[in-house]
Amino acid sequence: MRLIQGESQYWAVGRNFVARVPSDRLGADGRPTPEVAASLEARDHTMAPASDVFGLTVLVTTKCNLACSYCFQNAELPKPGAGSPLRIPGSTVDDTKVADIMAFTRRRMAELDKTSVNLMLFGGEPTMYLDSCVKLLDGCRDIGLAGAAMISNGTLLTAPAAVALENAGLQWVQITLDGDKAEHDRSRITIGGRGTFEQILRNVEEASAKTALKWHLRVILNGDSIKGVDGLVGRLADRLEPDKFMMTFSLVYDVGLGYDKSMRHSADLGHRLAGLHRQAIDAGFTVGAPRVVDCQFCEEVGGTTGAVVNSDGSLYSCYHSAGQPGYDLGTVTAGYEPDKVASRWVNCGYETEGVDKAAARLQGDIVDAAILDHLYAKGQLGKVTSGQPAPAGH
């Protein structure tokens, strides 16, 4: 559980709840009294019923039509004008792999007593192979599709494509923007070097008007893009229907390749991000929920709650490691290899171990307190605690 100090109250953020601790429940030191803290801890440790949902992430392809410099699937920093950077090995799910993945999923669900599946379509860029996305959705519907989301760069997600995916069972789409137009078009570029802001926004605008899909706009900020991001929220609110969209702001990290635009966590940066989230709330967007959540894929060693499947059929512990040499754990046809699981299992964020975790926690607490304070003041606290998917990175 996290105890976060707000403007005039504390917030308790547990695995299954968010609770306000008003000022009359605070002690002389300004923190929740021992009795209140103990009660909240007991609530947090109340075991939630075991989930009967199996989490399945599939990298539809490891290929991508963009050349983003900071992508964690790059094997080196791209060189200006050099086209596509060197990436993890390229592969794509075909019909045989779809069948193999579905057979593996059925076996694992039976072994783990799961009755339905949550599907995440990942890449590369999954919409490069729309038919494979639809076939995976169809396959999961046959075994009980509880939820389905996709992480896409949005460049190929036209309205007809979105309709086809929704008809097959897709519910959520995450789209990443690299700040406002100027910086985005310097950073999130095609292999030929062309900016993509207008193309993405046009596709999202048209697709969101033609479907009932829910959308997560993930705005990535670096040392350059944060300077000009203030106009982005208004620009998006003018062109989109904010009540269909969740918006989050997050930082881009160097994953060991020498990316030099990342920012250090700090209290000042936390207050800056807090202001952006308040701006998004005031514009009508939903924001990411402060939470304490175990990853459905990597938290428990051995894939007992879910699986991450690369497009070549290899198994991994999380989507950050998928396709990376030396992190494979087995295959969908042969299953997990115990020796590899024991030595290679990693958790989300393993490649950013140089991050100052104390500074990151402080910054996160500042942002989350601001979100909760602002929603409480506006009478909208329920908006942040109502079944949103955990933000993902790409």
- The domain limits of the chain are 2-45, 53-294+348-384
CB atoms closer than 10 angstroms to residue 179? 25
Question: Which residues, 6 or more positions from 102, have their beta carbon under 8 angstroms from its beta carbon?
Answer: 139, 140, 142, 143
The pLDDT-based confidence of 256 (bands split at 50, 70, 90) is: low
* Average pLDDT of span 176-189: 93
Question: Quick one: pLDDT at residue 131?
Answer: 98
How far, in Å, CA of 199 to CA of 270, rounded?
31
The predicted model gives 288-303 an average pLDDT of: 77
Residue 14: what pLDDT?
Answer: 85
**Which whole number is the average pLDDT over 173-201?**
94
Q: What is the pLDDT of residue 394?
A: 43
pLDDT at 391 over 50: no
Please tell me the distance from the alpha carbon of residue 323 to that of residue 62, in angstroms, as a whole number. Answer: 8
User: Of 349, 357, 310, 394, nearest to 92 (Cα)?
Assistant: 310
CATH number of 53-294+348-384: 3.20.20.70
Stretch 176-198: mean pLDDT:
93
Q: Please tell me the predicted confidence (pLDDT) of residue 254.
A: 57
The pLDDT of residue 48: 63
Mean pLDDT on 102-116? 97
What pLDDT does residue 298 have?
77
Question: For the segment 25-45, what is each residue's pLDDT rounded down to a tens digit?
Answer: 888 888 889 999 899 888 887
Residue-level pLDDT at 383 = 67
